Amino acid sequence: GHDPHHVFFKIVPTTDPNITLGMSFSVFALIIFYSIKEKGLGGFVGELTLHPFSASNPIVQIILIPINFILEFVTLLAKPISLGLRLFGNMYAGELIFILIALMPFWIQWALSVPWAIFHILIITLQAFVFMMLTIVYMSLASSTEH
C-alpha cells in the first residue's frame, strides 16, 4: 500500500534546496572563518568597509564606509545563496525533465530516457565540479591577504 515515510523521497538529494543551501552555508562559514583567521577581525571588517572605494581624506573615508559595507555585504551574501541555488536549480531541472519524459507515450519515453540519463549524469558531474571550483575560488579569496 501507501508508505507515508517515503512520500518525499527524491532520487537526487540535491533536488531539495535545503541540501544545497546547507552545503553552501557550510562553505560560507568556512569563508568567514578563514577570512578572520588569515586577516584578523580588524582585517575582515576592514575588507568589508574600506573596499572597493577608498580615500586618503578620513572624512571622505567615513562617508564611504556605509556604501562599501552595503556593496561588500551583498557580495558576501550572494556567494552562498548563488552557490546553493545554482546547484539546486540544475539538479531540479534535470529531475523535472525525467518526469516530463515519463508523462509521454512509451515509444517516446524509450527514445528519450536513455540519452537524457546519460546527459544528466554528465550534468551532475559538471555541477559537482562547478560547486567545488567556486568553493576553491571563494576560499582562495578568503585566505588572500593582499588586495
Which residues are marked as active site?
Answer: 82, 86, 90
- C-alpha separations of 11 from 6, 72, 96 in Å: 11, 37, 12
Is 35:44 a contact under the CB 8 Å cutoff? Answer: yes
C-alpha cell at 72: 561588500
Q: Are 19 and 92 in contact (CB under 8 A)?
A: no
Nearest Cα to Cα of residue 31 among 104, 140, 118: 140
Question: Residue 124's Cα: distance from chain center in Å?
Answer: 15
Write out the three cell numbers for 54.
577608498
Cell of 5: 515515510
C-alpha 144/C-alpha 95 separation (Å) is: 38
